[in-house]
Amino acid sequence: MRRLFALIITVLFVSCATDSDSYKIDGTAEGMADGTQIFVYNLEDNNQPVAVDTLTIQQGKFSAEYPKTDKLMLGYLSFQNPQGSVVFFPENEDLKVTVYKDSIQASYVSGSRQNDMYRQYGAKIREINGQKRSLGQQFQQARREQDNLLAVQIQQQNAQLVQQETDFKLNFIQENSNSIFSLMVATEMLKRKEISSAQASDFADALPPKTATSKLAAELKATIENMKKADIGGTAPDFSAPDPSGEMLSLKETLGKYTIIDFWASWCKPCRIENPNVVRVYEKYHDKGLNIISVSLDRAGQKDRWLKAIEDDNMDWFHVSNLKFWQDPIAQMYNVKSIPATFLLDENGKIIAKNLRGPALESKIASLLGP
């Protein structure tokens, strides 16, 4: 009897230890042939993917067991035939994977809050994107039929849909601040300027301890601080780059009573259309203290096109370019995602306005330097 009792205790102990030290992944793979391999990867705190396992499908199923961890991780199952991947979040809970051969994109992982939440998020975003595509098709049709009133109405509907998407994402990250996925969404929203640096900062400040100390959180906070430097009220980050003669020219060397940093490129049609307005404002107010330094996002090997555009558009002010297209370090420093983009600085280099063009630019300069 004592031996039996000891055996039961041992089994219970091992069972409890197993439950506490590992979690299982059980999956079904509809339509996939026996022997099909699944490659399992982990991205610890959003680092480079690390291969952790290779699973084999047998009779439409696969399974695995992994040690539990306190690390914030994202994982994914990679398939070669057909190609695709299924994202999941290890949460120290047993997970169920449903894979569809004909639709890897529709495949999903369930069994834990974060994975269920990720699935619901994806479904909502796909729904919104579908509505956007439909509105886009309706807009094109209205344009072909020259129905301008309908086109304007569709644009308004699309703007409302974009706002609905932003509100959904913002509400999502606020309600799921303990999720590594929410950190990823917040970072992407910030970079795409769907939220301000102030909103992102509020989100980062409210993070619970586990996510607040993650590498992703540190990267988000660094991005926020960098963006604040290029926000109104911040001091414009200094920079240096080659001028048309190849000499290095810094921002601080070009500061006037007021200074415009103008991001543009010779290949940018909206920039070229705006240039005559900027020229008119410069010629009218330069003697009163207005300076301009234009930062070109022209491509490598196209310096001649850059210089010709300066001459053709009569842009008689300071110019610099690293000729690195969208990889330009100054554009990245100022979080410029589209051009033309402008920053108006006071004599101390403080940003007092952004992205003024057309009549708004001249009106602002006139209010500062007189008519």
Instruction: Let me know: does 348 contact 233? Beta carbons within 8 Å.
Output: no
Task: Among 38-52, 90-104, 208-222, 260-274, name the one with the lowest average pLDDT.
Answer: 38-52
Q: What is the CATH number of domain 240-369?
A: 3.40.30.10
Confidence of residue 306 (pLDDT cuts 50, 70, 90): very high
What local confidence, expressed as pLDDT, does residue 268 receive? 95
CA atoms of 371 and 357, how far apart (whole Å) = 17
Dump pLDDT digits (tens) for 59-110: 999 999 999 887 777 889 999 888 899 999 888 889 999 999 888 888 999 9
pLDDT greater than 60 at residue 9? no
pLDDT tens digit string along 353-370?
999 988 999 999 999 998
pLDDT value at residue 105: 85
Residue 367 falls in which region: left (phi positive, over 0), alpha (psi -120 to 50) or beta:
alpha
- What is the residue extent of each domain of the chain? 19-111, 115-229, 240-369
Of 321, 327, 325, 329, the C-alpha closest to 295 is: 321
d(CA 202, CA 207): 9
Instruction: Locate all alpha helices (DSSP H) within 97-194, ordered by sequence.
Output: 113-144, 148-175, 180-191
Give the model's confidence band at 44: pLDDT under 50 very low, under 70 low, under 90 confident, else very high: low
Mean of the per-residue pLDDT values for the chain? 88
> Tokens 């110019």 correspond to what residue?
319
285-308 mean pLDDT: 96
Quote the pLDDT of residue 69.
Answer: 81
- pLDDT tens for residues 111-157? 988 899 999 999 999 999 999 999 999 999 999 999 999 999 999 99
3-state helix, strand, coil in the chain (%, to 5): 45, 25, 30
CA 240 to chain centre: 26
Q: Is pLDDT above 50 for 6?
A: no
Structure token pair of residue 119: 């699935």
- Read off the pTM: 0.68
Residues 307, 313, 315, 316, Cα dihedral to 10°:
90
Pick 19-111's CATH classification: 1.10.3470, 2.60.40, 2.40.360, 2.40.10: 2.60.40
Q: Residues 254, 255, 261, 266: what is their CA dihedral angle, to the nearest 10 degrees?
A: -20
Q: Which percentage of the chain shows pLDDT scores above 90?
A: 62
The Cα-based distances of 187 to 183, 212, 216, 219, 221 in angstroms read 6, 14, 9, 8, 9
- Return d(Cα 278, Cα 351) in angstroms, integer: 18
